[in-house]
Amino acid sequence: MKISKTAQSVSDSVTMAVTARAKQMKSEGIDVVSFGAGEPDFDTPVFIKEAAKRALDAGATKYSPAAGNLELRRQIARKLKEENGLDYTAQQIVVACGAKHAVYEAIHAIVDPGDEVLIPTPYWVSYPEMVRLVGGIPRIVETRQEDDYKLTAEGLRRAITDKSCLLILNYPGNPSGFCYTPAELAHLGDVLAGTDLAVLSDEIYEKLVYGDVEFRSLAAVCPALLDRTVTINGLSKSYSMTGWRIGYAAGPADVIGAIAGIQSHTTSGPATFVQLAAIEALRQGEPDIRRMHAEFAKRARHIHQRLNSLEGVSCVEPTGAFYVFPNVAEHYPRLGVPGSAEFCRRLLEEARVACVPGAGFGCDQNIRLSFATSMAQIDKGVDRLAEFLQNA
């Protein structure tokens, strides 16, 4: 059958490929340690499940408004005001089927064919593909390990051309595990203030920051950008609700109206009873978020220390999300591998450790390890990695 040129331009997700192979090996009885997970290893808190069951029993089984349940949008507006210092009305918020779809719809609403979208490395794999899907041109902006893989004001200034239409920022970052400080955001904001670039700020990991790092929303640090920033967030990571598919976009009324229009003709609003459970999650979720956060914080410190003690491995300390992104390129010549994809393939086949190649995130010198797994698995996996690096 004919496949459109647009669909053909989309590459397979590298994250999915490694996870699929690791799953296959596990199903064959092979003891694989998987650092591939992009989701918390905790169950969804019980009170959220109970709220969904109650909603189902009460008959919340029909269509929701296309832009999302109004009470949920009000709760999100309250959360954004109280926690992020952002003033949005419920009408400036769309609830989507996951943050992923909210990002896609926002790109769709802003980018015309031929427009360039600035995407700093290392980037979440889906951003460039989403830009291609709407006919835009992803412009990858290199960052440096010395800068903790963060976009600097100078790097941003150099990357902007008259075709640039949108900047995508994601912090805490997947896959880098970093978080921009308010001062760093302010520097980027100064550069952006002199342009008319729109900004998409993907803050899905906001609750997962470690050490003395303070998370602040971009539009709160740079109020001058408020009327051209779309803030993306959702419940998947903070509330361990990846399978529930609730994310949202908040921003200027015209963009949000356009997103709501796209959504009304594509998915419609997310599942009605799930949205009612999401209201409860936002009302009462803090203690569970703190419990999961405490565990992630311990793991972040531990895995960073262990990886950094390995010969030829250098690793920026993760200050957010649940990923570490070590540079392992020193080992490529000795192993005879051309890059991260072959490194990860051999690591999985020979040492039974699943990591994600950095190539898919625009950094071929690195691999991504998710610490959304137990301390025991972390130790076992890093032991195997150490042995692989020594003896392979």
Ligand X SMILES: Cc1ncc(COP(=O)(O)O)c(C=O)c1O
Cβ nearer to ligand X, comparing 202 with 389: 202
Q: Give residue number: closest CB to ligand X.
A: 98
Tabulate helix, strand, coil % of the chain (nearest 5). Answer: 50, 15, 40
Residues between 347 and 366 with contacts to ligand X, criterion CB under 6 A = none
Q: What is the DSSP secondary structure assignment for residue 44, as one 8-state letter?
A: P
Task: Please tell me whether residue 270 binds ligand X under the rule CB under 6 A.
Answer: no
For 285-319, give the DSSP string: -HHHHHHHHHHHHHHHHHHHHHHHTSTT-B-PPP-
State the DSSP code for 115: -
204 binds ligand X (CB under 6 A): yes
Site for ligand X (CB under 6 A): which residue of 13, 242, 266, 267? 242
Q: Which stretch binds ligand X (CB under 6 A): 2-10, 95-103, 268-276, 301-309?
A: 95-103
- Which pair of structure tokens corresponds to residue 234? 């959702």
Answer for the pair 208, 238: CB distance below 8 angstroms, yes or no.
yes
Part of the chain binding ligand X (CB under 6 A), chosen from 1-9, 94-102, 152-160, 304-312: 94-102
Tell the residue number behind the tokens 């969904």, with chain if given. Answer: 52
User: Binding string to ligand X for residues 3 to 42, with x set by CB under 6 A, is what?
Assistant: -----------------------------------x----
Q: What is the spatial distance between Cα 371 and Cα 377, in angstroms, rounded to a whole number?
A: 9
202 binds ligand X (CB under 6 A): yes
Contact predicate 73/95, CB 8 Å: yes
> Does the footprint of ligand X cover residue 170 (CB under 6 A)?
yes
Residue 264 in the binding site for ligand X (CB under 6 A): no
Element (H, E) at 34: strand 33-34
Does position 308 bind ligand X by CB under 6 A? no
Does the footprint of ligand X cover residue 98 (CB under 6 A)?
Answer: yes
Would you count residue 236 as binding ligand X (CB under 6 A)? yes
For ligand X, the binding residue among 44, 69, 174, 275 (CB under 6 A) is: 174
Strands lying side by side in the sheet with 247-250:
93-96, 247-250, 229-234, 198-202, 164-170, 116-120, 137-141
How far apart are the C-alpha atoms of 270 and 294, rounded to whole Å? 30
Q: Per CB under 6 A, does 44 bind ligand X?
A: no
DSSP 3-state of 277 = helix
Nearer to ligand X, 136 or 172 (CB): 172
Binding to ligand X, residues 116-145 (CB under 6 A): 124
Q: Which is nearer to ligand X, 38 or 68 (CB)?
A: 38
Question: What residues make contact with ligand X under the rule CB under 6 A?
Answer: 38, 98-100, 103, 124, 170, 174, 202, 204, 234, 236, 242, 247
